[in-house]
């Protein structure tokens, strides 16, 4: 009886197949990435004449290199920023040191007072990114709360439950105007 020899399997193309599978995996797989802040910047316009600035309507927030807030030239703790922003924008007592209002005819809401207030945020070059995000979060929280409160008053529903037309009307009645200046050297002393 003679034994048959078992032929060797040619594995030369296995490396090519493994390489192709690796390339296929890399091309078809999506990677999670940090999206950053959901802020839409206005388009760049060259040589535009800025409208006249009324200091009354600007709520100035500075963050220095020691991550300290200076709001309207006074030190403030971060946890008071939301309420201070809301008070400035809403100006319920019509104080002359807070934002002015103008009458606007808004669809679905009628004629109402709308704030002219602008939030101006400026940071130092070496402000920590986490501090910047926390300040941004407090400002956005203030606008979200104001819009939600107005939606409940005007339509009886939370802002997130409104129709797109109702949300647009609330956004027009409570515009989110935030100006971010380039970081500069702001000392803490």
pLDDT tens column, 14-39: 888 889 999 988 888 877 666 566 66
Residue-wise pLDDT for 36-83, tens only, equals: 666 666 666 676 665 566 788 999 999 998 999 999 999 999 999 999
> What separation in angstroms does the CA of 67 have from each of 127, 144, 187?
6, 24, 10
Domains of the chain, by residue range, sit at 55-180
The pTM for the full model equals 0.72
Q: What's the confidence (pLDDT) of residue 180? A: 87
- Which residues have CB under 8 Å from 57's CB, separation 6+? 99, 100, 116, 117, 118
């Amino acid at each position: 009886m003679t034994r048959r020899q078992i032929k060797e399997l040619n594995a030369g193309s296995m490396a090519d197949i493994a390489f192709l599978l690796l390339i296929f995996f890399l091309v078809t797989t999506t990677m999670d990435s940090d999206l950053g802040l959901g802020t839409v910047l206005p388009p760049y316009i060259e040589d535009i004449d800025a409208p006249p600035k009324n200091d009354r309507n600007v709520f100035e927030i500075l963050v220095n290199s020691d991550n300290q807030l200076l709001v309207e030239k006074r030190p403030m703790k971060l946890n008071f920023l939301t309420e201070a922003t809301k008070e400035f924008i809403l100006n319920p007592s019509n104080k002359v040191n807070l934002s002015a209002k103008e009458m606007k005819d808004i669809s679905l809401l009628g004629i109402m007072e709308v704030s002219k207030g602008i939030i101006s945020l400026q940071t130092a070059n070496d402000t920590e990114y986490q501090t910047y995000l926390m300040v941004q979060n407090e400002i956005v929280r203030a606008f979200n709360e104001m819009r939600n409160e107005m939606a409940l008053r005007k339509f009886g529903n939370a802002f997130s439950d409104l129709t797109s037309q109702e949300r647009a009307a609330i956004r027009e009645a409570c515009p989110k105007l935030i100006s971010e200046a380039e970081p500069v050297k702001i000392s803490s002393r």
